[in-house]
Structure 1
Amino acid sequence: MREITFTLPAPFPLVNRTTGFSHYTTAKQKNQLRRQVMAAALHLRPPAPFERAKVIVERHSVGTPDKDNLWGSAKRLLDCLTTPALLNVRTEGARQRTKNKRGLGFIIDDAPQYAEIEVIGVKCKRDEQRTVVTIREVVG
């Protein structure tokens, strides 16, 4: 069973800090998070994404957000762990679209048949704030 663990230097941003921005600002924020994950874990990326995985995301911060805010906020981070896939083009001449275009290929997808996800809020001191991501391959 393979396991990947990496740490981001800050807690991932909560939904109430990322909503209400323009499409361009939102895309910029998502790309910035992707770059952080890439810098922290690119050398850990498996040659092929895990078929099934258990993903544990620990958000260490001064305050502990409520459960729905915590889980909803983890979506951007989880999207960075998935694998990009081309979508079917329904109409001839339409542009090709990609599912999970910011994915780095750690897991196939964040859907329940591919990943069991656990998001945990941990209260800590200000100088200990971080995000710890653990991805365990599930065999069998």
Structure 2
Amino acid sequence: MTREITFTLPAPFPLLNHSIGESRFSLTNMRRKMARSVAMASAGQRLPEPFSKAHVTIERYSVGTPDNDGLQGGAKFLIDSLTTPRLLNVRTEGARQRTKNKRGLGFIVDDAPQYAEIEVIGIKCKRAEQRTVVTIREVVG
């Protein structure tokens, strides 16, 4: 039996156009805000271990229909918040320890193709129905 997690964010995730040209500080704030939003929407659904292989479907309901590259690129912060944080190798003695995906919440191991199949869909709707629905389904075998 495959496991599945579904949660809904109250607004459509920001598209790529919103992050182009922003300072690194603004981008960091956008990443933090997305991680907090995902954590609140998925409260009580987190697993002790991430799915080793998963199919992630992200449905963005909005009044407009975005172009495909803006839709895919805009989902980056959301996808990164689903991954598992991992310590990177320290190459030189005394260098500070760095973490990959430090804002990840541990739903999937990584967003690399061997760990996750990611599908992002844009759906047109009325203004009152705008939201983002995320479904993470475990792939067995």
Measured against the shorter chain, the TM-score band is over 0.9
TM-score, normalising length from structure 1? 0.98
Q: For residue 21 of structure 2, what is the aligned residue in structure 1?
A: 20
Residue type at the aligned position of 1:93: G
Q: How does 1:23-42 map to 2 (within 5 A)?
A: 23-42=24-43
Gap runs ≥5 in structure 2: none
| Deviation sequence 1:37-87 (CA, Å, 0-9, x none) | 000003111110000000000000000111111011111100000000000
Which SS does the other structure have where 1:110 is aligned?
Answer: coil
Q: Give runs of ≥4 in structure 1 deviating > 4 Å.
A: none
Gap runs ≥5 in structure 1: none
Taking only aligned residues, the RMSD between alpha carbons, in angstroms, comes to: 0.6
Matched length:
140
What percent identity do the matched residue pairs reach? 69
Compute the displacement of 1:21 (Å).
1.6
Q: How does 1:1-140 map to 2 (within 5 A)?
A: 1-140=2-141
Which SS does the other structure have where 1:43 is aligned?
Answer: coil
Separation (CA, whole Å) in 1 of partners of 2:20 and 2:85: 24
TM-score, normalising length from structure 2? 0.97
Compute the displacement of 1:113 (Å).
0.1
Which SS does the other structure have where 2:132 is aligned?
Answer: strand
